[in-house]
Chain A
């Protein structure tokens, strides 16, 4: 789980938050509700997660309540991978 979180965190930092300190992007930071990721960035993250972890997410799995914090996204990945 920790490696999943770090992979997601690294992607967000390098793609959408260049120059931001990793310490400021916590596991429970609200990415969409907090205005860090807009619609297109969210789609980019969804596409990355699917490709990186070899899973497919349906529309409702990417709803903001399920797909907003790194810890929630990582948990979703683990569930989809059957772990």
Chain B
């Protein structure tokens, strides 16, 4: 998959930005589970948050393929994958659904702040009893005059503790099943919406995550996102973008892992020879290279399709499945290549694996991606 000259330039610019502005002590931040607000603002100033948003709303109006090139560059240039995970959640599950399904008033009210970094977005869909079976959600939205009243609890909300704006999903009637689900835009400070206890994760620890609790939360009619009962359309739009794009930064990590492993395999000597001269070590690194190239093709294919305004659900599911599996395996291979040092926190190799494991779970588990692909194949 060849990038255009412009995309290459953008990627190089992203790498330079990340190396300069996102090069803080991630070991400490990971241990303390600290979200770096300054880094977020720097990303906003760089323009990442506005890249897919039209200029009339404060964005840069770039195509998706260009944004993927930038995300890959950021993944390569920074070691803070948690920050990038938060960026992805903000873009694909908050900004994009507002762009695609928002009214003119909603777009005007919210997109500029989402682009310039003054508003951080979050998405509240998953519940304790509704994970993979997301459409069985029980959070209820009852129409009351010119508002909806929401009651329920959402789990695993990325950016919950720092979000200014939440795209939340609730059902107007559980008996309607998926056709009752409705999306809402809810601002921080709305009475009845509270952030629950912070959730502690295996990886991506610098990306904050918590529960969101709705107790008689009154949401104006004007803040319903899309049509009543068509929340599934909004959610699936989010997922199509997120599944295809959230792993673009992982391509950058995989490229960095590969380069570091090659360098280490050439420099580290055992029994008088570079360890890369052993086939078992070389073959492992070869597999990392092959994985990276196949992953890039799948991810950038999403960009091509979305830039042509074509659907990409099947391609997004395939990319999500394959890239997450490759990312986890390459992270394991990197640790193995570095041996004991790879297991140590100081080397920053082990954290990539902890961050990578989540990729097989978020945005729909690998099991779900296989189910989606099977259905698309008519099975």
- Interface of A toward B, CB cutoff 8 Å: 18-19, 38-40, 42-43, 46-47, 58-60, 62-64
* Contact present for B236 and A40 (CB under 8 Å): yes
CA distance A54 to B9 in the complex (A): 46
- Interface of B toward A, CB cutoff 8 Å: 135, 172-173, 175-180, 182, 228-230, 232-233, 236, 375, 378
Chain B: which residue is nearest A41 at the CB level? Answer: B375
* Contact present for B378 and A59 (CB under 8 Å): no
* Contact present for B233 and A42 (CB under 8 Å): no
CA distance A62 to B236 in the complex (A): 18
* Contact present for B378 and A19 (CB under 8 Å): yes
* Contact present for A59 and B177 (CB under 8 Å): no
* Contact present for B173 and A59 (CB under 8 Å): yes
Chain A's nearest CB lies how many Å from the CB of B239? 10
Chain B's nearest CB lies how many Å from the CB of A44? 10
* Contact present for A59 and B135 (CB under 8 Å): no
17 A-B pairs with CB atoms under 8 Å apart are A39-B177, A40-B236, A42-B178, A43-B179, A43-B230, A43-B236, A47-B233, A59-B173, A59-B176, A59-B228, A60-B173, A62-B176, A62-B179, A62-B229, A63-B175, A63-B176, A64-B177
* Contact present for A59 and B180 (CB under 8 Å): yes
Chain A residues, Cβ within 8 Å of B230: 43
CA distance A76 to B355 in the complex (A): 50
CA distance A39 to B181 in the complex (A): 11
Chain A residues, Cβ within 8 Å of B229: 58-59, 62
Given contacts A42-B179, A43-B178, 9 further A-B pairs with CB under 8 A are A39-B178, A39-B232, A40-B236, A59-B173, A59-B229, A60-B173, A62-B179, A63-B176, A63-B179
CA distance A38 to B378 in the complex (A): 13
Chain A residues, Cβ within 8 Å of B172: 59
Chain A: which residue is nearest B372 at the CB level? Answer: A40
Chain A's nearest CB lies how many Å from the CB of B319? 19
